[in-house]
Amino acid sequence: MYTQGLNELAARPLAAVQEDPERLRRFEARIDAEEKIEPKDWMPETYRQTLIRQISQHAHSEIVGMLPEGNWIGRAPSLLRKSILIAKVQDEGGHGAYLYSAAETLGISRAELIEQLLSGAAKYSSIFNYPTLTWADVGAIGWLVDGAAIMNQIPLCRCSYGPYSRAMIRICKEESFHQRQGYDLMLKLARGSAAQRAIAQDALNRWWWPSLMMFGPPDTASPHTALSVRWKIKRFTNDELRQKFVDFTVPQARFLGLEIPDPALRWDAGRGQHVHGEIDWSEFQEVVRGNGPCNRDRLQARRDAHESGRWVREAALAHAAKRARAAAA
């Protein structure tokens, strides 16, 4: 998750590279045989660039994703909830670190990737540009946002690129804890006082549609999906994953006694699926363009963190140079 099929929305289209047909044939035969592609193996340039973009958007999303919930660490209502939230936010930082490492195996440096984030050139998941107004938002994020992330990330454990698929296996285990703690929090609120139920419903109202948008634009507007599916970077299309998420989440909302804010939502017995109402894609486009409620704050927070960590990076480099000098002497 967290990549939202934004490859499709990239301002700069990937350069069309003429690949050696024989190498391409061997590469695709390996993909067909479910072999993993490793960093030193030959790969088409489009495969490499698509992965750099997808993995780095994913890494940036994990890092920026620490901000909305980090906002509540100091105000968690109990020691237990605070410990859970600290652990979760810390996990997200770890996910970002694994994923930057996975992207680096494709021949780009972490410094370059971070520069792309801080300059606004790189995208991250638009979901993190919404504010966390009440404590219930922490529950809704775990339940819905991490829930959507799992839906998207489980198939990535079988991604054809070895370092990405291996990173996703560990990440998915942690995401499942994130989803569980969020649902547990929602359950407490839903079974609590009228005021607690009201903030739980309000959080669901605000996070439902942005969560559906996390799967990215509809398949009809995702021209590169086919190639990503053929090369087993993606296993399912955006709409397929969104549908799975809706079918999974609607009964959970019912169990909580909360109402999904979609009057058009209905069960289609023929298809064996829920049918949801129209998604407001203009809102999605606006947030992706940088005009969501918190885009500016999020980037500013990352820039400030990068600046205040500068002395640590410089000190580490100076220490490494001193040790190298001492070893050489």
Interface residues with Fe ion (CB under 5 A) are 62, 92, 95, 146, 175, 178
Nearer to Fe ion, 52 or 85 (CB): 85
Q: How far apart are CA 320 and CA 324, in angstroms?
A: 6
Residue closer to Fe ion by CB (options 144, 204) is: 144
Q: Quote the least distance from Cβ 257 to Fe ion, whole Å.
A: 25
Strand ranges for the chain from DSSP E: 266-268, 273-275
Q: Which is nearer to Fe ion, 129 or 222 (CB)?
A: 129
Nearest alpha-carbon partner for 102 in 59, 60, 66: 59
Number of H helices, E strands in the chain: 14, 2
Residue 266 backbone dihedrals phi, psi, to 5 degrees: -150, 160
Buried b (16+ CB within 10 A) or exposed e, 283-296: ebeebbeeebebbe
Instruction: Give the residue with the Cβ less far from Fe ion, 88 or 274.
Output: 88
Q: Which two tokens stand for residue 238?
A: 């955006």
Q: Rank residues 95 and 242 by Cβ distance to Fe ion and give the closer one.
A: 95
Closest CB 98 distance from Fe ion, rounded Å: 10
Q: Which two tokens stand for residue 202?
A: 């309000």
Nearer to Fe ion, 9 or 172 (CB): 172
Beta carbon of residue 2, minimum distance to Fe ion (angstroms, whole number): 7
Rounded distance, CA 317 to CA 321, Å? 6
At its nearest, how many Å lie between Fe ion and the CB of residue 310?
26
- Cα–Cα dist 321/325, whole Å: 6
State in Å, rounded, how far the first CA of the chain is from the last one. Answer: 49
